[in-house]
């Protein structure tokens, strides 16, 4: 795939989460859909402001947990009933109460791993490159004390000069154009 | 402009809202109706046996609310946290219902011979010869006589009640004094409550275990389980948290809880309840797994009494009601943040607790062990506990109205009044 070229989006920098949220909320109200917030720490309101919808992590976790449960229970049943049946104190080979504990542990293990790796995968991680790091103020500020709103060029409303003027309305510290 | 927070202010009137009186009236009406039903059922059954068994269930349920409330009060003084401040006065009110629980217990104390085999059998060898009891029971009753006799039952119970009453009085009394004191003394008060509550939790664990063993486990004199006290202890956490959420959310229809019950703390309480749902099944299942694996004649009959002859249906339902339903529902973050749905789950949990107690209590008796069957008497398990719990709720409402619903001399007050979100 040839490298993408052109403008990725316009990045507005704010000093406080309040300013960011106000801008993000307004942009969403004005019809922007391809936009994202970047903050140095989790700001739940920022996610709400840009209409963050549900993700699939809970579903991935549930499916992972169920796979773990079924896999371990089936393994134990197979070992104890068919592969290597043992008479333990006259108890039946299919001793489901004893199978529940490892099956439960595998449910937790698989659910936990699915949640962690599912989250990373659905986030698109690991990503070796992201255009936003081309902006020097983003590189320095996004993990320390600055709050960013990015309106992306993929949005049909995007127009380099008009959007820049639009973002200036929110009185950001700066608005910079980000290249791919 | 930066990081501005909109703090709420505590309303001037901190007393319980007027609609609590409405709850009380409704509870009294329900209590009366179900008392009448209980009497009618007793007449239809022609015996008082099931009334007393169901009475024991009602005792354990209301005892769980009262002394379990005291325990959670002790715990939150040690752990701190905004959820603790939120629940402090509702929990104090639960602890102050102890006199009613004591009155319920007195009825049991006067019916020992009807309820407990070890009290009914005075001459063990004669009872064995007549076929009333089997050899294992005869041996157990004789061997455990120093512990299982009416005198020990009554004195141990009275001692436990005295200890619970002491802690109830101490925490409730100091709670009011703390509010009257100047804010400068707050750190001292926090230390003081910690120093009372820490040892109090240990004392509670011991006395609660003694009560659970004497009142319920000894119904079957042959059987014992070392986790039994803990099982009831966790069960109390289960039912008290469920009730606390119901109370807090219901109170939030008016001030002052409308101001102080934030979604964050409600969510926290939901998570806490979820932990108790987990711990509850963990203990119950490990007890079962250990006894099932051992498969010893001293232990396994207790489970066989509760699995065979129709009881398999009850234990399967118990597993669904008591664990699977609350567990799967409380997994949901949205549900824990939704007042109405969370309250529905908590109401269900209180019912599930009573259902579990039914499974624990009824199969202890000879006519019911391995033989689940219908009689008019078995319906007492609905009528009597509902009536007893309804009267308990009425008394609880009185206690709830007795003092302001928010403790003000606490650093958490300022925190709980903060707006939840950074707002633009």
Q: Does A5 touch chain B (CB under 8 A)?
A: no
Which of A15, A44, A97 faces B289 most closely, judged by CB atoms?
Answer: A97
What is the predicted pLDDT for the residue at A118? 95
Ranges assigned E (strand) in B224-320: none
ipTM topping 0.85 = no
> Between vectors from CA B128 to CA B124 and to CA B134, what angle results, nearest 5°?
110
Chain-chain contact of B295 with A91 (C-beta, under 8 angstroms): yes
CB-based contact, A21 to chain B, within 8 Å: yes
Do residues B152 and B146 lie in contact, with contact meaning Cβ atoms separated by under 8 Å? yes
- Residue B418, pLDDT score: 81
What is the residue extent of each domain of chain B? 49-111+145-413
Instruction: List for chain B the helix, strand, coil content (%; round to 5).
Output: 75, 0, 25
B289 and A98: CB-CB below 8 Å? yes
Contact A21 B422 (CB under 8 A): yes
CB–CB contact A98 B293 (8 Å): yes
Is the CB of residue A18 less than 8 Å away from at least one CB of chain B? Answer: yes
User: Which residues numbered 2-41 in B keep a CB inside 8 Å of some CB on A?
Assistant: 2-4
Please state the φ and ψ torsions of residue A3, each to the nearest 5 degrees.
-65, 140
CA distance B423 to chain A (A): 6
> Which residue's structure tokens are 């009881």?
B311
Residue A91 at interface with chain B, using a CB cutoff of 8 Å: yes
Residue A134 to residues A138, A142, A148, B240, B305, Cα–Cα distance (Å)? 8, 12, 14, 55, 73
Smallest Cα distance from B333 to chain A, Å: 10
**Partner residue facing B4 (CB), from A18, A25, A101:** A18
pLDDT at A114: 97
pLDDT score at A141: 87
Where does residue B374 rank: exposed (0-12), middle (13-18), buried (19+ CB within 10 A)? Answer: exposed
**Interval B95-143: pLDDT, tens:** 999 999 999 999 999 999 999 999 999 999 999 999 999 999 999 999 9
Whether the upstream peptide bond of residue B40 has omega within 30° of 0, thus cis, is no
Q: Cβ of A28 under 8 Å from any chain B Cβ?
A: no
DSSP per-residue codes, A28-93? HHTT--SEEEE-SS--HHHHHHTT----SHHHHHHHHHHHHHHHHHHHHHIIIIIIS---STT--S
Distance from CA of A98 to the nearest CA of B (A): 7
pLDDT number for residue B287: 96
- Tens of pLDDT along chain A (180 residues)? 667 788 999 999 999 888 999 999 999 999 899 999 999 988 888 888 888 777 899 999 999 999 999 999 999 999 999 999 999 888 899 999 999 999 999 999 999 999 999 999 998 889 888 899 988 888 888 888 899 999 999 999 899 899 999 999 999 999 999 988
Interface-testing mutation among B263, B421, B422, with chain A (most A C-beta atoms within 10 A) = B422
Look at B289 and A91 and tell me if their CB atoms are within 8 Å: no
pLDDT over 70 percentage in chain B: 98
pLDDT tens for B214-228 read 999 999 999 999 999
Residue B93, classed as helix, strand or coil, is helix
Shortest Cα distance from B406 to chain A (angstroms)? 29
Contact A5, A180 (CB under 8 A): yes
Q: Mean pLDDT for each 10-residue chunk of chain B (424 residues)?
A: 62 88 97 97 94 97 97 96 93 97 98 95 94 94 95 97 98 93 90 96 97 96 94 96 97 91 93 96 95 92 95 96 96 93 97 97 94 94 97 97 90 82 52
């Amino acid at each position: 795939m040839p490298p993408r070229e052109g403008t990725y989006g316009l990045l507005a920098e704010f000093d406080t989460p309040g300013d960011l949220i106000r801008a993000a909320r307004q942009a969403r109200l004005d019809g922007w859909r391809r936009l994202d917030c970047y903050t140095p720490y989790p700001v739940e309101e920022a996610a709400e402001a840009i209409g963050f919808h549900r993700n699939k992590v809970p579903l991935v976790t549930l499916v992972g947990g169920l796979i773990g449960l079924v896999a371990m229970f089936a393994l134990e049943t197979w070992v104890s009933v068919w592969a290597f049946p043992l008479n333990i104190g006259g108890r039946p080979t299919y001793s489901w109460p004893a199978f529940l504990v490892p099956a439960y542990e595998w449910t937790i293990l698989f659910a936990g791993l699915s949640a962690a790796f599912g989250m990373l995968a659905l986030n698109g991680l690991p990503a070796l490159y992201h255009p936003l790091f081309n902006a020097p103020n983003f590189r320095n500020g996004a993990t320390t004390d600055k709050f960013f709103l990015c309106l992306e060029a993929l949005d049909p409303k995007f127009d380099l000069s008009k959007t820049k003027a639009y973002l200036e309305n929110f009185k950001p510290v700066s608005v910079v154009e980000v290249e791919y | 402009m930066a990081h501005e927070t909109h703090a709420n202010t505590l309303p001037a009137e901190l007393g319980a809202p007027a609609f609590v009186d409405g709850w009380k009236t409704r509870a009294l009406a329900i209590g009366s109706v179900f008392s009448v039903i209980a009497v009618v059922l007793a007449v239809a059954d022609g015996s008082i046996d099931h009334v007393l068994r169901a009475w024991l269930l009602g005792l354990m349920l209301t005892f769980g609310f009262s002394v379990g409330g005291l325990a959670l009060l002790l715990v939150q003084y040690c752990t701190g946290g905004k959820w603790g401040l939120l629940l402090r006065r509702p929990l104090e009110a639960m602890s102050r219902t102890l006199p009613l629980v004591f009155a319920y217990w007195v009825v049991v104390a006067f019916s020992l011979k009807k309820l407990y085999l070890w009290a009914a059998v005075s001459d063990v060898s004669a009872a064995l010869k007549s076929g009333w009891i089997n050899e294992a029971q005869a041996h157990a009753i004789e061997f455990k006589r120093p512990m299982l006799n009416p005198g020990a039952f009554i004195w141990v119970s009275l001692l436990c009640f005295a200890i619970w009453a002491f802690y109830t009085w101490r925490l409730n009394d100091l709670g009011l004094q703390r509010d009257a004191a100047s804010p400068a003394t707050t750190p001292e008060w926090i230390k003081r409550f910690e120093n009372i509550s820490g040892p109090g939790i240990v004392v509670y664990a011991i006395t609660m275990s003694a009560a659970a063993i004497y009142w319920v486990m000894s119904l079957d004199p042959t059987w014992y389980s070392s986790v039994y006290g803990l099982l009831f202890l966790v069960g109390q956490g289960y039912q008290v948290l469920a009730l606390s959420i119901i109370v807090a959310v219901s109170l939030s229809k008016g001030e002052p809880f409308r101001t102080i019950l934030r979604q964050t703390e409600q969510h926290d309480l939901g998570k806490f309840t979820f932990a108790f749902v987990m711990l509850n099944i963990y203990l119950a299942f490990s007890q079962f797994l250990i006894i099932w694996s051992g498969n010893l004649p001293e232990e396994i009959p207790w489970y066989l009494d509760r699995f065979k002859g129709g009881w398999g249906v009850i234990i399967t339902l118990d597993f669904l009601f008591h664990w699977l339903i609350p567990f799967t529902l409380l997994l949901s973050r949205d549900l824990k943040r939704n007042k109405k749905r969370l309250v529905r789950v908590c109401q269900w949990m209180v019912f599930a607790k009573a259902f579990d107690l039914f499974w624990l209590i009824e199969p202890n008796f000879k006519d019911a062990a391995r033989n689940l069957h219908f009689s008019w008497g078995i319906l007492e398990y609905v009528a009597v506990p509902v009536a007893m719990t309804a009267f308990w709720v009425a008394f609880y409402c009185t206690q709830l109205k007795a003092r302001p619903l928010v403790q003000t001399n606490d650093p958490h007050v300022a925190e709980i009044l903060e707006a939840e979100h950074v707002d633009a």
